Structure 1
Amino acid sequence: MSHNEDDAGGASPPPPPPVPAAAPKPSTYVTVGALRGGECADLLALVSAVSRPLEDAVADFRARIAPERRLRFGSAVTFVLEDKMMLQPAERLIAFAILHQGYSSQLANPFVPLLINAACDETSEKAERVFLQLLLSLTNGDNNEVLKQSAVDYLNGSDYASQVLLPREQLEKQCSRDAASSVQSSFRGATVRSAISDPDVFQSGGSSSEVSPIKPNRDNMIASLLQQTSLKGLPPQWIRPPPPRLEILEGELQWLNLDNNHELLWDGSMCADTSRGAVIRDLVEKACKGPLAPAQQEKIVLDLGKDWKLVYHCGMTPQKLRGLVEHNTCIAVEVLSRLINSPDMDEYFNVLVHMEMSLHSMEVVNRLTTAVVLPPGFIHDYISNCIRSCDDIQIKI
């Protein structure tokens, strides 16, 4: 839908060629965005002047609202009119007059379908329906007497009681020139309003002469809705089919999506008794500093035989190997034979090769050759170091 007063910027495309006019299909919703803060205050001030003549309220609307903002403003008015609890009956009449007279100078009024719907709404009060039919019959200055009254005076009078309501078909035919053509779609019809009425709350706006005790709260609620929610409502999402896959060419690598198999692994060391490891750690620390008693040596050998993994928790490092070899040869053999697959084993071999030759180191190497498989390079390096040490002893002698 496009209108001359909708948008301030950008040239509108040339109008399509004229087609035969048809009776408009009523539209109950005009989609635009939220209002500005000042416009919300203007809307509430305009509809609250129920004692002023209706033509003064319309003139005030034209003076306050710029032409390029009138469609957006009018759409906000339709938003509050759709829920009959938002405005009092007299305020609703002012809102309807603004929607109709605000576009009286245009060839097509976008809100005429909504006015026709409201005029034919059998759940509305007769006074409101008669007022709307009088508005829709206002052409070339006829029946302008209704706009010279205030909304309160119109409701307090009894003239509308004798009026005969026209059927929808006659109203649509009468307004075919002024009604804006609208394209109907099931997608638009499935839109959910941003504000939904509570079905358990009485929908009447109350008497026109009453002053609602909750009017300040109502005004705050309306202003909040108009500023923070979209007047377009919540339309359904478009269903977009996924694009087709590209054909896999011969010789092209195919992407494989492997299944993730998440399995829980039980930690067998959880809650295990660590006291035995602490004893071994203390004994190995003492063995690196001095000779152990036979009972202590036997304790280390038995515990390592029961659980060889204790060797990784006994605090042994390559830097401590020299002391362990010199003071406790048998413990050194037990520890090294169980560390043979350790990533640090090359450092232990390097210590043995470069440490000062002694009967203790030769005994450790001799026992290791029968206990585990030693790398060939280590035996060669160790023998070369022994020969070099013997040559140094002969030179000193």
Structure 2
Amino acid sequence: MDKIKSLNIDCAQYQTDYIRPIPNIVSSEFLCNDNIFMINLLWNYTLEINQDKLSQVKEIIQKACITGISDQEKRLLFDYLSNEKDLLKNCGFTSQRLPIIIDKNNDIAHFLLIQICNLDGFEEFLEVFFQIEVTQNTLELFAHLYGKLKLPQEYITQYINYCIDFCNNIKEKQQQNKLVRFVSVFIQQMFKLKAFTIKDILTDLQAFCIEFSKVSDVSKLFKLVKGQEPQTQ
């Protein structure tokens, strides 16, 4: 051990010289590329919405899915959604909620559909009519929508056929006869509004009138259909 301590070792002779490249001189000027901040830019429009009003509207629409709403709530809903379109886009009214709102608050459903008619996805709401039960409420709502929106004739024709098929598939006789009367009046109303041409669905209407000839109001429809039949030479 003493011999090791007596060794006079110069550590400097074992040092390694590291090669360091000369650094580049960087300009102190800061160049900002504004374009990098515009990539995939998403704006949260809900930040501009009055959250207090939005919560009130959502609460009313949620209530409209459960029970009838008061006149005061209707006025509040109509006022907010008529004047602030951003509220309309975020109010919680969806095509899934449409059937139950038609049943509970038909006038609310009518108002909301008119308001959203120019928004993307409105076709989804129209398709709902081909997926739900035909009732007095749905027929009235459909007629009112046509009066406001002038729906395409092909769409009217398809819906009339849907109503006829729905009537034919009802098993309970009293319920069937009741709906047949509503559908008969609806078809006559649509014809008076020139919403469709009878000749396009003449065969289906004739079969409907013959099948339910004993139901009131069908006789009026039958006369209307007969008057549109092509005259034989």
TM-score class normalised by the smaller sequence: 0.5 to 0.7
Separation in 2, partners of 1:234, 1:295? 79
Partner residue in 1 for 2:14: 223
Partner residue in 1 for 2:146: 369
Q: CA deviation at 1:375?
A: 4.1
Q: CA deviation at 1:306?
A: 1.1
Question: Do residues 322 (structure 1) and 113 (structure 2) align?
Answer: no
Task: Give 5+ residue unaligned stretches, structure 2.
Answer: 1-6, 25-32, 171-175, 178-210, 216-233
Question: Do residues 291 (structure 1) and 68 (structure 2) align?
Answer: yes
Paired residue type of 1:280: V
Separation in 2, partners of 1:348, 1:367? 15
Structure index of larger Rg: 1
Q: Structure 2 matches for 1:326-365, cutoff 5 A?
A: 326-365=103-142
Residues 314 and 365 of structure 1: CA distance in aligned 2, closer, same or farther (over 3 Å): same
Cα offsets for 1:86-106 (capped at 9, x unmatched)? xxxxxxxxxxxxxxxxxxxxx
Cα offsets for 1:265-300 (capped at 9, x unmatched)? 886653642110111001001111111111111111
Are 1:353 and 1:378, in contact at CA under 8 Å, matched by a contact in 2? no
Q: Structure 2 matches for 1:195-214, cutoff 5 A?
A: none
Are 2:110 and 2:141, in contact at CA under 8 Å, matched by a contact in 1? yes
Paired residue type of 1:331: I
Paired residue type of 1:294: D
Question: Do residues 305 (structure 1) and 82 (structure 2) align?
Answer: yes
Separation in 2, partners of 1:311, 1:234? 64
Separation in 2, partners of 1:263, 1:236? 30
Partner residue in 1 for 2:52: 275
Separation in 2, partners of 1:234, 1:344? 62
Query: Quick one: higher RCO (CA 8 Å, sep 6+), 1 or 2?
Result: 1
Paired residue type of 2:145: L
Cα offsets for 1:163-192 (capped at 9, x unmatched)? xxxxxxxxxxxxxxxxxxxxxxxxxxxxxx
Are 2:49 and 2:87, in contact at CA under 8 Å, matched by a contact in 1? no
Residues 263 and 320 of structure 1: CA distance in aligned 2, closer, same or farther (over 3 Å): same
Paired residue type of 1:309: D
> What secondary structure does 1:225 align onto?
coil
Separation in 1, partners of 2:132, 2:44? 40
Give the number of aligned pairs: 157
Are 1:337 and 1:368, in contact at CA under 8 Å, matched by a contact in 2? yes
Separation in 2, partners of 1:236, 1:329? 76
Q: CA deviation at 1:353?
A: 2.3
Residues 236 and 290 of structure 1: CA distance in aligned 2, closer, same or farther (over 3 Å): closer
Separation in 2, partners of 1:372, 1:260? 45
RMSD: 3.5
Paired residue type of 2:84: D
Q: CA deviation at 1:379?
A: 1.8
Partner residue in 2 for 1:380: 157
**Which structure is higher in helix share?**
2
Task: Give 5+ residue unaligned stretches, structure 1.
Answer: 1-44, 50-214, 238-258
Cα offsets for 1:313-372 (capped at 9, x unmatched)? 222222211110111111101211222244433332222123222221112111211222
Cα offsets for 1:29-82 (capped at 9, x unmatched)? xxxxxxxxxxxxxxxx9xx79xxxxxxxxxxxxxxxxxxxxxxxxxxxxxxxxx
